[in-house]
């Protein structure tokens, strides 16, 4: 079946603008994760959803970052007042939701803040 998809694949914006990044998980996967990968680093956790609720948002760097998953499927990561330091690849992953289930990653969205 189809894997995790993310749109857009690339996003270029100006400092101070608002952006939304979308993630479509694998159908039936109840758990959804957002990670951020900066150049030369491994992915770093941002937020995790189980169903519609954010089960763990401890990785969000500050209150400019927010994510939603209103119907328990598609999720949107929202970044307000973007800064140049927000430039990174934003990865989404989903899993079936059971303990220790494999996380399947999307291709990522490359965000560039000028």
Partner 1 sequence: AQRVTQPEKLLSVFKGAPVELKCNYSYSGSPELFWYVQYSRQRLQLLLRHISRESIKGFTADLNKGETSFHLKKPFAQEEDSAMYYCALSGGNSGNTPLVFGKGTRLSVIA
**Taking contact as CB under 8 A, which single stretch among the options 8-16, 18-26, 55-63, 71-79 is the one that binds partner 1?**
55-63
Answer yes or no whether residue 43 interacts with partner 1 by CB under 8 A: yes
When the beta carbons of 65 and 82 are compared against partner 1, the nearer one is: 65
Least distance CB 81 / partner 1 (angstroms): 25
CB-hemisphere CA count at 13 Å for 15? 4
Least distance CB 45 / partner 1 (angstroms): 4
> CA-CA distance, 82 to 71, in Å (whole number)?
26
SS (H, E, C) 70-110: CCCCCEEEEECCCCHHHCEEEEEEEECCCCCCCCEECCCEE
**Which positions lie near partner 1, rule CB under 8 A?**
3-4, 31, 33, 35, 40-45, 48, 50, 55-56, 59, 91, 95, 97-108
């Amino acid at each position: 079946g189809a894997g995790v998809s993310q749109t857009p694949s690339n996003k270029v914006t100006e400092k101070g603008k608002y952006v939304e990044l979308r993630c479509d998980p694998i159908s039936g996967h109840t758990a959804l994760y957002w990670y951020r990968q900066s150049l030369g680093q491994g992915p770093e956790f941002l937020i995790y959803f189980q169903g519609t609720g954010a089960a763990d948002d401890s990785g969000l760097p500050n209150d400019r970052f927010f994510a939603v998953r209103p119907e328990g499927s598609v999720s949107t990561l929202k970044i307000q007042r973007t800064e140049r330091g927000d430039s990174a690849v934003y990865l989404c992953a989903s899993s079936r939701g059971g303990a220790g289930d494999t996380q399947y990653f999307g291709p990522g969205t490359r965000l560039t803040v000028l």
